[in-house]
Amino acid sequence: MIIYNVTINIENNLHEDWLNWMKTDHIPKVLATGNFKEAKLTRVLIEEEMGGVTYSVQYRAHSRENLENYYKNNADALRLEGLKKFGEKMLAFRTELEIIEEFTASAE
């Protein structure tokens, strides 16, 4: 399984607008592509030297092929929407993570 992780830093004065847009528009559109099983939106708790608020969105792809399909058919248009809306006030970088094995705590 592949996790497509997007880490975003957004300026403080746009943070609430950006967060609302992510929850109500962007993440639902990414999931609607059919390439991902789920998404988790998290706030990074470490303060950045550059300021702003940092978040991570982890999209769990159905497969490597689904992630490649997303890149080929959807990623550019969806990224452009964010750039048009928030421009240079938002900084994002992306990583791909491969899940090797998952573990859960045992209930006692």
What letter represents residue 45's amino acid?
A: L
> What percent of the chain lies above the pLDDT cut of 70?
100
Report pLDDT for 42: 98
pLDDT tens column, 34-74: 999 999 999 999 877 778 999 999 999 999 999 999 999 99
Structural domain containing residue 91 = 2-98
103 is a domain residue: no
Average pLDDT, the chain: 94
The verdict on residue 105 lying in a domain is: no
Is the CB of residue 4 less than 8 Å from the CB of residue 93? Answer: no
- pTM of structure: 0.91
* Three-class DSSP category at 91: strand
pLDDT beyond 80 at 7: yes
**Number of domains within the chain:** 1
pLDDT for 46:
82
**25 within domain boundaries:** yes
User: Does residue 6 sit within a domain?
Assistant: yes
Cβ atoms within 10 Å, residue 27: 17
Instruction: Give me the mean pLDDT over the 23-44 stretch.
Output: 97
Does residue 40 belong to any structural domain of this protein? yes
CATH code assigned at 72: 3.30.70.100
Of 77, 85, 89, 91, residue with least CA distance to 32: 77
Residue 66 pLDDT: 97
pLDDT at 51: 85
Question: What is the pLDDT, as a whole number, of residue 45?
Answer: 92
Q: Is residue 38 part of a domain?
A: yes
* Residue 92 within a domain: yes
